[in-house]
Chains A and B, each alone.
Chain A
Amino acid sequence: MLNERSPWRQFRQGVIAISPICVAAVPIGLVWGALAVERELSLFEIGLMSATVFAGASQFVAIGLWASPLPVAAIVFATFLVNLRHVMMSASLGRRMEAFTPAQRLAAFYGLTDEVWALAEVRSLKERLTPSYYAGLVLPLLLSWTSSTIAGGAFGRVLGNPETFGLDFVFAAMFIGLIVGFRRMPAWLPVVATSAAVSVFTHRLLPSPWFVIAGGLVAVGVAALLAPAERAEVKEA
């Protein structure tokens, strides 16, 4: 039982949880690296961006805007918009980090990708989220993402389309599995249905990042409205 709580064991459990995502990130990283090289980023710049920004969606948007002369402000602002969803994730997950020191928190939020966040939230439903488990989620994905984007830059477009093997669906399938995993939450069905409807609707009307923000915010608002105002919260420990 003591062994259950050892940091090394926690770390390994994190690595196991993130491993399918690390595999699925490889073809996407290869494609992004190939696109980045076409826009004349060097391998050093590719690796540096993947390691420091570490956010696939905004990196694709940035490469789409990459031109000469470089529109620095537009790219930085687009990055901020695409990543605005992380504000909600960080507000929610911060409450599950009681076991983290302040320095560990600052470091942990650097690695807060969608997938890391989702797996960390799920973990915190079952047991206390530890820095070791969280590091086990972040480090393999950071390694997989950074190295596959550099490889994509080095080997270019020899590799074909990730859609061929349905690999592009790994993220969607994992997210669906995680969403279903939250089904015992109060007002789960109205929240999920609202989010899906608003997201699909906004996706038709507005450019890319807004559907996530609109769907998330409206659905969170629905949860607040449906909450019984007088009773204490259900899930807070």
Chain B
Amino acid sequence: MELLTILGMAVATYLTRISGDLIMRRRTLGPRTAAALNAVPPAVLTAVIAPSVLAAGPPEAIAGLITAASAFRLPLLVTIAVGVGSLTVLRALF
């Protein structure tokens, strides 16, 4: 049963990963559909992390704002370091 469960999980995951492409393939997109798809990256990325950044407590929320501010100016790796560093400091303070 363990192996069957793992196999089922693998198939279910792969289906979610391939189906968006299969649904959209070979469609001519209207401007609204195209705008919606173009918005998927920032929309879904934000939805994934918003609760753990904004609703987890003051250290996470403040570190999130610091990270966002530095992302406007700094490269991605530096931004990550700033985010992790500022959260470590803030957790020690709160």
Q: Is the CB of B29 within 8 A of A233?
A: yes
By a CB distance below 8 angstroms, the chain B residues around A203 are 50-51, 55
CB distance from A141 to the nearest CB of B (A): 14
Chain A residue with the shortest CB-CB distance to B56: A172
Answer whether residue A105 sits at the interface, using C-beta atoms and an 8 A cutoff.
yes
- In B40-56, the 8 Å CB interface with A consists of 40-55
User: In the complex, which range does the number of interface residues on chain B fall in?
Assistant: 35 or more
Answer whether residue A152 sits at the interface, using C-beta atoms and an 8 A cutoff.
no
User: In the complex, which range does the number of interface residues on chain A fall in?
Assistant: 35 or more
By a CB distance below 8 angstroms, the chain A residues around B91 are 166
By a CB distance below 8 angstroms, the chain A residues around B5 are 62, 70, 72, 75-76
By a CB distance below 8 angstroms, the chain B residues around A165 are 84, 88
CB distance from A143 to the nearest CB of B (A): 17
Residue-wise, chain B 3-43 has the 8 Å CB interface mask toward A (1 for contact) of: 11111111111111111110111000101111111111111
Q: List 14 A-B contacts (CB under 8 A).
A: A52-B9, A80-B15, A83-B12, A87-B16, A87-B23, A172-B53, A175-B49, A177-B80, A177-B83, A178-B41, A192-B46, A195-B50, A196-B54, A203-B51
A109 to B18 Cα, complex, angstroms: 6
Dominant secondary structure of chain B at its interface with chain A: helix
Chain A residue with the shortest CB-CB distance to B5: A72
Among B21, B36, B48, B50, which residue has its beta carbon within 8 angstroms of that of A220?
B36
CB distance from A71 to the nearest CB of B (A): 9
A200 to B40 Cα, complex, angstroms: 18
By a CB distance below 8 angstroms, the chain A residues around B4 are 72
By a CB distance below 8 angstroms, the chain B residues around A191 are 39, 42-43, 46
